[in-house]
Amino acid sequence: MNITLRIWRQANASAEGRMVTYQVQDVSADMSFLEMLDLLNEDLTLKGEEPVAFDHDCREGICGMCGVVINGTAHGRGESPVPTTTCQLHMRSFEDGATIDVEPWRAGPFPVIKDLAVDRSAFDRIIQAGGFISANTGAAPEAHAAPVGKLQADRAFDAATCIGCGACVAACPNSSAMLFTAAKITHLAMLPQGQPERYSRIKTMIAVHDEEGFGGCTNIGECAEVCPKQIPFDTISQLNRDLIASLFKKDGK
């Protein structure tokens, strides 16, 4: 296959960016999207041009490091028959001769570092605000001390599969990180171990979410549509229920 790429090039956070057109030849249908970018970068390097910077690591759809907007949708969801990360999108999803637009996640709280790589450290700060259970090493009771019903366990698991890639934010017109936050809220709220901090956690996490500049949720649903791990949209309902309930809790927060 031969592909035309139009890629966002931006030297650093303060530089101005622009779309630049490249041709990539001899693309195989079995290549992943990132392997196709590797091919471009090998070619650019040999020509003495600067390769395109993009984040990636595990290349098996689990670390959450990769992520670009492809033809207008996060992780190329619009091109893929199934939910996917960028690394698991394969070139068989494209026609020979296709022109593909490649852009970084675009959201205020995710400033561009270079080309397609962005800074997602705001996600870590949301977790720091309460996305955990306070259980010091060594202090744990026997694992079977607190059984968890299978339905709750499964719901916790579904929410816990979030990989923190940021596609939800990139897809949201409000740049809201509500699906990311709700996934962690729901994961921990479903488990008996998560109960003691359930209603304090939500207030501190939402506060940091807002401070970081992420927008509010207006129930558009693009986030869940592009989510490679299919975090259920109703986790946001769970978050809202818990947030309202938390207003009536006297927990000193």
Partner 1 sequence: MTTTTPAAPKTAKTQSTEYFEVGAEIKDAKAPGGAIEQKWSKRKFEAKLVNPSNRRKMTVIIVGTGLAGGAAAASLGEAGYNVQNFCYQDSPRRAHSIAAQGGINAAKNYRNDNDSTFRLFYDTVKGGDYRSRETNVYRLAEVSSNIIDQCVAQGVPFAREYGGLLDNRSFGGVQVQRTFYARGQTGQQLLIGAYQALERQVAAGTVTMHTRHEMLEIIIVGGRARGIITRDMVTGEVESHFADVVVLATGGYGNVFFLSTNAMGCNVTANWRAHRKGAYFGNPCYTQIHPTCIPVHGETQSKLTLMSESLRNDGRIWVPKRAEDCEKDPRQIAEGDRDYYLERIYPAFGNLVPRDIASRQAKNMCDEGRGVGPAVKEFDAEGNERFVRRGVYLDFAEAIGRIGKDGVAARYGNLFDMYAQITGEDPYETGMRIYPAVHYTMGGLWVDYDLSSNVPGLYVTGEANFSDHGANRLGASALMQGLADGYFVLPNTINDYLAGSSKFEKVDETHPAAVEALESVTDRIAKLLAVNGTRTVDSFHKELGNIMWEYCGMYRTEAGLIKAIGLIRKLRESFWKDVKVSGVNEDFNQTLERAGRVVDFMELGELMCVDALHRRESCGGHFRAESQTEDGEALRHDDEYAYVAAWEYTGTAQTPILHKEPLEYEFIELKQRSYK
CB closer to partner 1 out of 31 and 220: 31
CB closer to partner 1 out of 106 and 220: 106
CB closer to partner 1 out of 134 and 218: 134
Token pair, residue 123, equals 């996600």
Instruction: Say if CB 54 and CB 68 are below 8 A apart.
Output: yes
CB closer to partner 1 out of 34 and 236: 34
What angle, rounded to 10 degrees, do the helices at 178-189 and 150-160 form?
150
**What's the closest the beta carbon of residue 121 comes to partner 1, in angstroms?**
7
**What's the closest the beta carbon of residue 220 comes to partner 1, in angstroms?**
26
**What's the closest the beta carbon of residue 246 comes to partner 1, in angstroms?**
18
**How distant is the alpha carbon of residue 63 from its chain centre?**
10
How many angstroms separate the CA atoms of 123 and 213, rounded? 11
CB closer to partner 1 out of 150 and 248: 150
**What's the closest the beta carbon of residue 219 comes to partner 1, in angstroms?**
27
**What's the closest the beta carbon of residue 128 comes to partner 1, in angstroms?**
4
